[in-house]
Amino acid sequence: MFSEGQTGPHVIQSLDGVLRRLGGTTRRWRTDRMAGVVYPGTDRLLPEFAACAKHYGVGVDVCPARRARRKGVAEAAVKYLTRSWWCSATVRTPGEAQASLDRFCVEVTDQRRRGPSTIAKLAAIEGLLGLPSAPFPAEICVERPVSRSALVAFEGNHYSVPAALASAPQVTVRARLGDQTLQVVSAAGTLIAKHRRAPAGAGQTIRSSEHAACLEEAVLAAFTTRQPCRRKQNRPPGPAALAAAAVLRGEQPADGDGVVIDLERYAQFAGVAR
């Protein structure tokens, strides 16, 4: 599973995605001392991950420190995917990468031979435990900038916010696993938008009617019927500009009608202003 972070909710989301693809779970999970699972530098589970394990009805075994062989199987699987799939995968987004990896696992990895059978057939007879109907309700919180068109990107989709927040440097997107909606919160903690949650990587743009009307009003207000400026129009300097240039060069204007600036008079005014 591809994930943009290593926080507890991101780990739980990825774990649930793997289990749903496998069709069940083992009785015990083995994990290393990664962030989002255990307290840093210890083998004690974080309360959220312990509650997640209880939700799925499994036990958790944390790998001891400095025991690299315990994680050899997982590392070998990562190396296999790196050599066999990632080096030649044609993907541009995390959503495309996840879809490509899912196809590769079904069409290639599951068809590898293991004696007279295949990995897919051996996996089908594994005695896995059933999964709960809904994933553990962990809440994902990520920070996102707002585009000029008042849209926020999340999981391969775009969601609208009020037009007043267009180009805002940061808002927070909150999405709870299993929920069909998500929330967008301002930097001050105020709820500014609530949308239905599109499938990850679907490439959809979700814009509410209120946000669309506000954005249309802001765009139309910026329009004008005035003649646009001509970039290459001939605009020679006028008499006043020529006279001021002559004074700066220490010359007198060509005619007597020019404006002469007395610098001594200016110095007097400057002295009074001090």
pLDDT per residue of the chain (274 residues) written in tens, 0 to 9: 888 888 999 999 999 999 999 999 999 998 888 888 999 888 899 999 999 999 999 999 988 877 777 677 778 888 989 999 999 899 888 888 999 999 999 999 999 998 899 998 988 888 899 999 999 999 999 999 999 999 999 998 999 999 889 899 999 999 999 999 999 999 888 999 999 999 988 889 999 989 988 888 888 887 887 777 777 778 888 888 888 888 888 776 555 555 566 677 667 767 766 6
Q: What is the token pair recorded at 38?
A: 């255990």
Distances in whole angstroms, Cα of residue 18 to Cα of each of 13, 63, 169: 9, 20, 34
Domain extents for the chain? Answer: 8-124, 139-221, 239-273
Instruction: Please report, to the nearest 10 degrees, the dihedral formed by the alpha carbons of residues 51, 40, 144, 176 taken in order.
Output: 0
Q: Which CATH architecture has domain 8-124?
A: 2-Layer Sandwich (3.30)
- Are the CB atoms for 141 and 13 separated by under 8 Å? no
DSSP state letter for 168: -
| Pairing verdict, β 205-206 and 157-160 | parallel
State the pLDDT at residue 16: 94
Burial class (CB in 10 A: 0-12, 13-18, 19+), 193: buried
Question: Which residue's structure tokens are 């990895």?
Answer: 109
Half-sphere exposure of residue 234, counting CA atoms within 13 Å on the CB side? 0
State the pLDDT at residue 126: 86
Coil, strand or helix: which one is 102? helix
